[in-house]
Structure 1
C-alpha cells in the first residue's frame, strides 16, 4: 500500500533529516517539510530524500525499517 512521504527540512541534532509518512504522530511537529512523493516502501522514500539532503534517516516511529541509529 502506497503512502505519502515527507522529509523534515530541519535536521536532528545529529545532522539527519528524517523521513516520515503523513500519518506519523510526529508529522504535525514538522513545521518545515518537503513532500517526497507516494511510495510503497520507506526505502524508496529515503532514497528520494537523499536527492535533497546528504544525511537522511527513517523515523523510528513510522519508518522503523529505514531507521539507523
Structure 2
C-alpha cells in the first residue's frame, strides 16, 4: 500500500531513525520529522531515506511499518 513516509530526526535508544507513515498515531511532531515521500512500502521508504541521508540508520515503526521493524 502506497503511503507518505517520514522519519524521526531524533534517534531511538539504538541509534536508529524510526520510519513512520503519515497516518501513524506515533508520527513525530513537525519539528522532529523529515519527509521521505510517497513510497509503495516501508522497504522502499527506508531505501530512499538511506540514499538521501548517508550515514544514518533506519528502522520501521512497530505499529505502522512492522514488516521493517527490527527491534
TM-score range, shorter chain: 0.7 to 0.9
Task: Map 1:31-50 to 2 at 5 A.
Answer: 31-50=31-50
Q: In 2, distance between residues paired with 1:17 and 1:59?
A: 10
TM-score by length of 2: 0.85
Q: Give the number of equivalent residue pairs.
A: 69
TM-score by length of 1: 0.88
RMSD: 1.5
Gaps of 5+ in 2: none
Task: Map 1:1-69 to 2 at 5 A.
Answer: 1-29=1-29, 31-51=31-51, 52=53, 53-69=55-71
